[in-house]
Structure 1
Amino acid sequence: MLYSRYLSAKKNTNRGTLPLLVFLHGFLGSSEDWLESVKSLDEFPCLLIDLPGFGESRHLKPQDMPSCLSAIETTLKKYTTTQTKVVLVGYSMGGRILLQGLAKQIFSHLSVIGCVVEGAHFGLRDQYERAARYTNDESWAQRFEGEPIEQVLNDWYQQAVFSSLNDDQRQTLVKVRSDNLGESIGAMLRVTSLAHQNYLLPNLRKQSVPIWYLCGEKDDKFKQLAAQSGFPVTIVQGAGHNAHHECPILFSEALRAIVERFSETDKASNKYSNNH
């Protein structure tokens, strides 16, 4: 079972039982990445999961995507029943894992009322793009496995997708991420590589679970993907690719508003079902 942090709701509301928010972090991250954001979401119960190869699950070496999804499913079963309303939240790699889980009906036993993905890719359609991505990810995986981790992380955070970070933010991330194990990082990068992911958008558009896209104002690449997806989109002002890290309060406010929309839709759906 994956390591996870369960945070019970601390604030009473007049809205009855609120949904459980389940968070999956991005590549190189851990459940700790969400702690600042969930401080202001304390009316909700929250489950923060360390994915295989990271955080307190760093010694769990992933074998493939099905085994990764199975580990998440097992962890969720510990904290939920079929009656538990759930909202899934995933950033970047974590978002892609959630999207693949939805496409494969992995979460069908849960009462998932919505899924929020932050800066997550739907997959590559072009075989040449996929081949280039495979080469790129394999190169990084080998570096993580064979070189000093701080050296590799310094280069990793120079990539264009992290251009909104300043030097202090980059160094903070390098320091925090240096606790990871190079072998586990390499394995997870291979398992979750975009090169191996199917193009999920046509499948996802048919899903019954509502999907909402969230990304930073400065994250041009993923803003474009979000706009093309056809899903509702929320933009976090002033943020780049990692909106919940760069602007945790604005991220929390945006997420609360999205969850409230999911809850309203779920209640309306149940009311309709009960009347017919």
Structure 2
Amino acid sequence: MTSVVFVHGFMGGSRQWQGQAEALPGFDVIALDLPGFGENAQLEALDSIAGYAEWALNELTERGVERFHLVGHSMGGMIVQEMVSQAPERIDRLVLYGTGATGVLPGRFETIGTSKRRARADGPKTTARRIAATWFLKREEADAYENCAAIAEKCSIRAILTGLDAMQGWSGVERLAAIQTKTLVIWGDLDRTYPWCQTEQLWQSIGGANLAVIPECAHAAHLEKPELFNSVLEEFFSN
């Protein structure tokens, strides 16, 4: 059975992929929790995107998973780009979802510096709930908001600040043209975090990349329009 590995974004966790695991019965779905986040919130957060990629590859090796399809969301999309760079022979198909090729995001709902200052001032739980709201078109009124906020609340202030530093110091632009893995780029058309220019850069720079735009969604299309999102994934992995 083919494995599909999901890598969550900043302040995310494995539990946010439950709907995808249930919708892909023909695949072995593996949802990771990065150090400092989700069910691994007790672990020390890492200070670089490349470090998270190395950790993820080692974790999969320890689980006996050598080849797999790979899905990365938001910060996780940066991490999976690094995983492809470090071990291209292990990845059959790549999904870059709600992400980009630079850690400093043009048009982000606030700058990374502002996020760091507000996190220190407000504390981790308030920060978790505020940032989780930006992922949804309906913000706090979204059906999946409370579950995502609960996952985000597991993060310590150190994990929040370290994750922001890791993103701020990362760029994968120069490596995009070298990606040979069959790639699908997915974007919610009302994403507040990643503007179209980031999505377009991925789509146009990776040879033969496919593009799927999910309408009337913000940053968490897999939770806002799960049936459409899941059908796009299944189609891409099955053909």
Report which of the two structures shows the higher radius of gyration computed on alpha carbons.
1
TM-score interval, normalised by the smaller of the two chains: 0.7 to 0.9
Q: What residue is the counterpart of 2:54 in the other structure? A: 70
1:87 aligns with 2:69: yes
Q: What residue is the counterpart of 1:188 in the other structure? A: 163
Residue pairs, 1:15-26, within 5 angstroms = 17=1, 19-26=2-9
Q: What residue is the counterpart of 1:123 in the other structure? A: 102
Q: 1:205 to 1:51 in 2, by over 3 A?
A: same
Query: Equivalent of 2:153, from 155, 167, 178?
Result: 178
Q: 1:253 to 1:152 in 2, by over 3 A?
A: same
1:226 and 1:233 mapped to 2: Cα distance? 9
Q: 1:171 to 1:49 in 2, by over 3 A?
A: closer
**CA deviation after TM superposition for structure 1 residue 163, in Å:** 6.1
Q: Normalising by the residue count of structure 2, what TM-score does the alignment of the two structures yield?
A: 0.82
1:233 and 1:209 mapped to 2: Cα distance? 14
Q: What residue is the counterpart of 1:242 in the other structure? A: 220
1:37 aligns with 2:15: no
Q: 1:201 to 1:36 in 2, by over 3 A?
A: same
**CA deviation after TM superposition for structure 1 residue 171, in Å:** 5.3
What secondary structure, in the 3-state scheme, does the structure 2 residue paired with 1:35 have?
helix
2:190 and 2:83 mapped to 1: Cα distance? 28
2:107 and 2:233 mapped to 1: Cα distance? 34
1:36-77 Cα offsets, whole Å, 9 max, x none, are 122110110011100121012112221433332221111111
1:206 and 1:78 mapped to 2: Cα distance? 27
Over aligned residues, Cα RMSD in angstroms?
2.8
Q: What residue is the counterpart of 1:58 in the other structure? A: 41
2:139 and 2:133 mapped to 1: Cα distance? 10
What secondary structure, in the 3-state scheme, does the structure 1 residue paired with 2:88 have?
coil
**CA deviation after TM superposition for structure 1 residue 158, in Å:** 5.8
Q: What residue is the counterpart of 2:180 in the other structure? A: 208
1:258 aligns with 2:236: yes
What secondary structure, in the 3-state scheme, does the structure 2 residue paired with 1:205 have?
helix
1:173-216 Cα offsets, whole Å, 9 max, x none, are 4344223222222222212x2x3122x34422222212210112
CA contact (8 A) 2:188 2:218 kept: yes
Query: Equivalent of 1:46, from 29, 38, 52?
Result: 29
CA contact (8 A) 1:141 1:187 kept: no
Q: 1:80 to 1:234 in 2, by over 3 A?
A: farther
CA contact (8 A) 1:244 1:251 kept: yes
Q: Normalising by the residue count of structure 1, what TM-score does the alignment of the two structures yield?
A: 0.72
1:99-154 Cα offsets, whole Å, 9 max, x none, are 1232xx312352x1111011111127xxxx78998x93244234434533332234
1:158 and 1:166 mapped to 2: Cα distance? 4
Question: Structure 1: which 5+ residue stretches go unaligned?
Answer: 1-16, 262-276
Q: 1:176 to 1:55 in 2, by over 3 A?
A: closer
Letter in 2 for 1:151: T
Q: What residue is the counterpart of 2:81 in the other structure? A: 99
**How many residues matched?**
229
Identity percentage of aligned residues:
20
1:233 aligns with 2:217: no
1:74-101 Cα offsets, whole Å, 9 max, x none, are 111123455x4x1110101101111123
CA contact (8 A) 1:215 1:222 kept: no
Q: 1:89 to 1:57 in 2, by over 3 A?
A: same
1:149 aligns with 2:124: yes
**CA deviation after TM superposition for structure 1 residue 259, in Å:** 0.9
CA contact (8 A) 2:37 2:152 kept: no
Q: 1:165 to 1:107 in 2, by over 3 A?
A: farther
What secondary structure, in the 3-state scheme, does the structure 2 residue paired with 1:113 have?
strand
